Structure 1
Amino acid sequence: MNTTEPAPRAKTFQIAGQSLPAGRLAAGLYVVATPIGNLGDITLRALETLAGADLVACEDTRISRRLLERYGIATPLTAYHEHNAEAVRPRLLARIAEGGAVALVSDAGTPLVSDPGYKLVAGAIAAGQTVVPLPGASASLAALVAAGLPTDRFFFEGFLPPKSGARRSRIAELRALPATLVVYESGPRLADSLADLAEGLGPRPAAMCRELTKTFEEVRRATLSQLAAHYAEAGAPKGEIVLVIAPPEEEAASDADIDAALRQALRSLSVKDATAAVAAATGRPRRDVYARALGLERTGDD
């Protein structure tokens, strides 16, 4: 009778027909970004981690299996999504506690963005387990850099409420936010959401980014009202959609605002320093602010 145990699974991955070894990973949770469309958009480190892990937790095993098969990775898959998370999460944490390496992926992009992954990460941290992030593709960032809108400050909203009343209320809360907005939306709701955004935010520049990195990638740039009119007529587009919306325009400081700021600054600063401070804060030309400061000083209005 042969009692020899089977040899452990070879941990390898393939690139361009070449098989490469993947070392065994230390116990922990590995949060792995995967492509948002084009399967070539994955890092070498991500491939080595997926191959070296003991288990890959994913939203949809059918989708993740296509990625693993593309690169010759044989790591077992298990489903982890919003419908089974409460039951599966303790088992994943137990696997890590026993010395296992678990890789967490989403259907596309970076995990924890609009999926239940953050609870698994929080549970691992609470249990004192190692959490290792592996950065990579993200639909929100890809859309942001393609939109041609300000990127110095942005706010990721995710999906707006599906019902119009709640959606309009949320848009009203976002109106004054001094940042570019990044919003996810589905094709069937796109026209209605754009109409509500145009009504609530005004004629802001925006970009509709669809199927990024895929064959039918599209970026349509226009005002919110123009985009709303287009999709009301054209109908619902297919694919994954990201809306990027410009921040509100900053209102220019009035002369009264400038004078009030100067009066406050002149209580403790020289005319020169007060001018510099107020010009920097308001964006008004220093020459104009200096002239107003001299006027206040001559009249003793400080």
Structure 2
Amino acid sequence: MTDASVASAAEQILLAERAPDKRPIVKTFFDDATFTASHVVHDPETKAAAVVDSVLDYDPASGRTRYDSARKIVQYVRENDLNVIWQLETHAHADHLSAAPWLQEQIGGKLGIGADITRVQNVFGKIFNAGTSFARDGSQFDHLFHDGDRFQIGSLNAISLHVPGHTPADMAFVIGDAAFIGDTLFMPDYGTARADFPGGDARTLYHSIRRLLSLPEQTRLFLCHDYKAPGRSEFAWETTVGAERRHNIHVHDGVPEEDFVSMRTKRDATLSLPNLIMPSVQINMRGGHMPEPEENGVSYIKIPVNTL
């Protein structure tokens, strides 16, 4: 299926879902420590739900994890009597650890990610010298989404769109009139995601963004991060296709591909790596699971020296 035909299919779904009673309800939980927005999206008719991009609290100084952020999601799900069908990951995050396995134990749901997670596993499996025991076939996840895959959340139609560039495996999940787009775009006043991680590419990111912006202008976009642009005092994580097309400072309508690639490449060269990239990628490429414990029963996170 081509990009154009998949976008067209997604547009048809959106047009069919315009009735107010068919719009999904979205509740967002923002983690200030990692600037991450996790979303619970549900069908008001059937109470079927999905959790998108959950956060496991992690203290890098002590190496200890907590479930404070994830417990808020569990409380919301139980208070609203939701039936969680999916735990969705838009990509293997480099800035926070996923709480999906723990959430599965608490509230259920199949763990899904884009099929190109295998490319990420191959690249970072080598970087972290994960060894032959680390499977690089995506088997740590319950389901691998391909471009154009259709699925249901209760009575809501949904479709997965492959939107690489930030990483090779980025997926957007269009559910009714809402699209959960991971790190491809930020709020219009902040711009776009970096594209300098292994397997990332600014030109590919440009095409993925233009693909998302071909959806109907009223499409609600739910982002994975916000860092508060200069002059803005509040965190924000919801915008629309129309707002991004008109106002995104990096990629609004009329910005040529070459200008974007030049800007993104120069900007990325000035950025430091995310604080939690070492633990995050090692955990998230394993579907949120810790590395296998060693003979003393303890899991360890590796830090490659002079590599990244």
TM-score bin (small chain) = under 0.3
The structure whose Rg is larger is: 1
Q: What is the TM-score of this pair, normalised by structure 1?
A: 0.26
Q: Which is richer in helix?
A: 1
Q: What is the TM-score of this pair, normalised by structure 2?
A: 0.26
